[in-house]
Amino acid sequence: MRDPYLYENSDVLRNKLGLKSQKDLEDAEADYVVCKLRQLATDPIPGDYFHTHLLAMHRFLFEDLFDWAGEYRRINIFKSERVLAGLSIDYSDAFDVARDTENCLVDMQKKQWSTMSYQEAAEEMSESLARLWKVHPFREGNTRTVITFCCQYSDTIGLNLDRMLFENNSKYVRDALVAYNAVFHDAGDLSQKEHLVRIVNDGIRRKEQT
């Protein structure tokens, strides 16, 4: 099935800027989204941290680029991962995205954050972050949206994750999310959770020391 999000006979996402080059789109996306992320750092989007709040955050970050910003994806996706020798994470089926997203967010808010040690909180936040990312609710922009969403949520529960730590190590963070979720029906459990837990733990500790 042809991906309706792409220009015909192209691997480039349809975009409001009319860019047909992948590099040009990536460069423009980086410029627009970095600006939006800076705005969110000082002026968070208010909400209840359920699905409509997540959609609003994605819309804010990507509305200048894509008509479908703030909408759940309508197709299944496969992304070949270098760290998995070309395998893709088993993302949620498109029909299950809304349900899986809501389940992740409900579970995140049920956790007893105030009773946890920093290490326990790092492990539980890593689990919530990785689980929501594995749903991959959007056609594009999942890592940036999910991390920003969870960092903003962390402020409300007193963890205050260091956003710049994630931004400055974005490639490592994405690889860590992939490694955390490397569980397959045929190949078994290949996950390595420690990488993501380490960076989340570092993010908490940095804020703790300031």
User: Residue 14: in which H helix or E strand, if any?
Assistant: none
pLDDT score of 185: 73
The domain locations on the chain are 72-209
What pLDDT, on the 0 to 100 scale, is given for residue 210?
A: 45
Q: Is 63 helix (H, G, I), strand (E, B) or coil?
A: coil
Mean pLDDT of the chain: 93
Dist. CA 13–CA 3, nearest whole Å: 9
Half-sphere exposure of 42 (CA within 13 A, CB side): 4
Question: Structure pTM?
Answer: 0.93
Strand partners, 6: 13
Give pLDDT, residue 206: 56
pLDDT at 65: 98
Contact 2, 10 (CB under 8 A): no
Question: 86 to each of 78, 82, 161, 172, how far by Cα in Å?
Answer: 10, 6, 31, 17
Q: Report d(CA 75, CA 8) in Å as an integer.
A: 16
Is the domain 72-209 a CATH 3.40.50.300 member? no
Tokens (6 digits) for 132: 């929501």
User: Residues near 135 by Cβ (< 8 Å), separated by ≥ 6?
Assistant: 91, 92, 97, 100, 101, 104
Q: Mark 39-69 as b/e (b = at least 16 C-beta within 10 Å).
A: ebeeeebebebebebbbebbbbbbebbbebb
pLDDT digit string (tens) for 111-130?
A: 999 999 989 999 999 999 99
pLDDT for the residue numbered 166 = 94
Cβ 191 vs Cβ 108: under 8 Å:
no
Which regions of the chain are under pLDDT 70? Answer: 1, 187, 205-210
Residue with tokens 């993010």: 203
